[in-house]
Amino acid sequence: MSRIANKSFRAKIVDAETAASFIHHGDTIGMSGFTGSGYPKAVPGALAARIEAGHAAGDPFKVRVWSGASTGPELDGALAKADGIEFRMPYNSDPIARQKINAGEMDYFDMHLSQVAPMAWEGFLGPLDTAVIEISGITPEGDLIPSSSVGNNKTWLDIADKVILEVNAWQTPMLDGMHDIYYGTALPPNRVPIPLLKSDDRIGQPHFRVDPDKVVAVVETEAPDRNAPFSPPDATAEAIAGHILEFLKWEARRAGLPPSLLPLQSGVGNVPNAVMAGLIAAPFEQMTAFTEVIQDGMLDMIESGTLRMASATAFSLSPDRAAFFNDNAERYRDKLILRPQDISNNPELVRRLGCIAMNGLIEADIYGNVNSTHIMGSKIQNGIGGSGDFARNGYLSIFMTPSTAKGGAISAIVPQVSHVDHISQDVQVIVTEQGLADLRGLPPRKRADLIVENCAHPAYRPMLQDYRARAASASFGRHAPSIPGEALSWHQRFMDTGDMKA
């Protein structure tokens, strides 16, 4: 049965090539997609082919691409490979796009994910020519049933001049009803409180509205999301998860938190997934998540009954779990809510609910500043994503990492971070497989004591102790002692020799 229940939209069905012909050099395109789910799968490839043909004919064809967060190889990968992206925002994990950005061939604007939609509305980012949005169906009334991610789709549909829809029949029809699209946002000075008091509150409607006159093409697809497998937790991930669970149990007793704790936010990746796995056995019950992405670990927590419900903006599942979800979506219908990312990550809501934010990091310094994005200070890995939205505003902000990278050649704890995403005031707890540092209420030198003793790898701990001892007497000031000429020398040494120790 067709997913397009509206006659006038059915009349707009075309192939991907025809749809892509509506996009021109210099256009800005608002793509759907968030952490590899719900991104358009056909039009970007057809656009990449058009761009390649244009380049072959000497035509300088490039577009500006906005999205929710990361997408998939059929979108960022295909367009980057075709040298078709002039500018990209706000989050990317595609390896080809990453290589072009780091080669200085593609502009990239990395920003907090909750701020993208408001900033687009405010007009700072310029006009949006075309929205290309994956949906899972169209109702008889012409409303759009969202797909496996919501991201910025509501905003792109509202502000774009033209709209291209991809209706993906691979997505389970059971998604219908899981979304909560809030249409109450306004710009200052007309903003009002967002009426959400609990993770499971529904404050919007299940479908997107779209002005049918703007819809220039509808493309039918049947293709899976980019679902990446998680590696089973290794000893490092299990140790990190263990420290966090002990800490959460202690914190729950100390602060008299309820058995359901507080709403969880968990970043993407193997380690946060391992923490979720660990929570299944923890003595918490009826927990909720108010987070960005629903990953395998959260589905497992729901299956086990530990997690009552999860609110997010997207799925980020392994292929096995995605297939399982598609086959069993019915039983998750009252347990999952997908919202626009300006709501799922909204600082007002994160602060009100008191989320427990748990995110990965690239490196942290002895004072607790965190670098989540740039390797050696200059090479972007992914982007800040939603980590800042949650870290600054949560009840607790936990950052986790293995204590070393690149087989031990890099320490994740350094004298000074080579790039700052999260200032020390936004970083309350740092965890490695070595241990956990609860930094709340501590001045810089005491923070450094804990981070070096509890989190640094033994191979680097004496080097950090030596740096601190010398900084204690050589520093210009004694509040947060440092030796500026030496603070980044570890990074320079790695770039020169391939090892921070050598």
Q: What positions carry a catalytic annotation?
A: 292
- Compute CA distances 352 → 197, 236, 262, whole Å: 7, 33, 11
Q: Residue 38 carries which side chain, given as an amino acid letter?
A: G
- Beta carbon nearer to ligand 0RQ, 405 or 488: 405
Q: Note whether 359 binds ligand 0RQ by CB under 6 A.
A: yes
- Beta carbon nearer to ligand 0RQ, 217 or 271: 271
Separation of alpha carbons 313 and 292, rounded Å: 5
Q: Which of residues 75-104 bind ligand 0RQ (CB under 6 A)?
A: 91
Chosen residue from 40, 204, 385, 415 binding ligand 0RQ by CB under 6 A: 385
Chosen residue from 63, 157, 210, 271 binding ligand 0RQ by CB under 6 A: 271
Q: Which of residues 388-407 bind ligand 0RQ (CB under 6 A)?
A: 405-406
**Residue 101, both tokens:** 């950005």
**Residue 35, both tokens:** 């952490």
Separation of alpha carbons 372 and 328, rounded Å: 35
Separation of alpha carbons 406 and 275, rounded Å: 22
Q: Note whether 273 binds ligand 0RQ by CB under 6 A.
A: no
Count of residues making up the chain? 502
Q: Which backbone phi and psi does 56 adopt, to 5 degrees?
A: -60, -30
Q: Are 400 and 361 in contact (CB under 8 A)?
A: yes
Binding positions for CoA are 267-271, 362, 382, 386, 406
Q: Note whether 386 binds ligand 0RQ by CB under 6 A.
A: yes
What's the farthest any 2 CA atoms get from each other in the chain?
77
Q: What is the dihedral of CA 124, 125, 126, 132, to 10 degrees?
A: -140
DSSP string, 427-459: --EEEETTEEEE-TT--HHHHHHHIIIIIS-TT
Q: Residue 70: enclosing H or E segment and its boundaries?
A: none
Q: Note whether 412 binds ligand 0RQ by CB under 6 A.
A: yes
Nearest approach in angstroms of CB 270 to ligand 0RQ is: 6
Q: Which of residues 460-479 bind ligand 0RQ (CB under 6 A)?
A: none
Tell me which residue has its CB nearest to ligand 0RQ.
385
Q: Note whether 431 binds ligand 0RQ by CB under 6 A.
A: no
Q: Note whether 336 binds ligand 0RQ by CB under 6 A.
A: no
Q: Note whether 269 binds ligand 0RQ by CB under 6 A.
A: yes
Q: Note whether 245 binds ligand 0RQ by CB under 6 A.
A: no
Q: Note whether 267 binds ligand 0RQ by CB under 6 A.
A: yes
Binding site residues, ligand 0RQ, CB under 6 A: 35, 69, 91, 113, 267-269, 271, 292-293, 359-363, 372, 375, 381-382, 384-387, 405-406, 410, 412
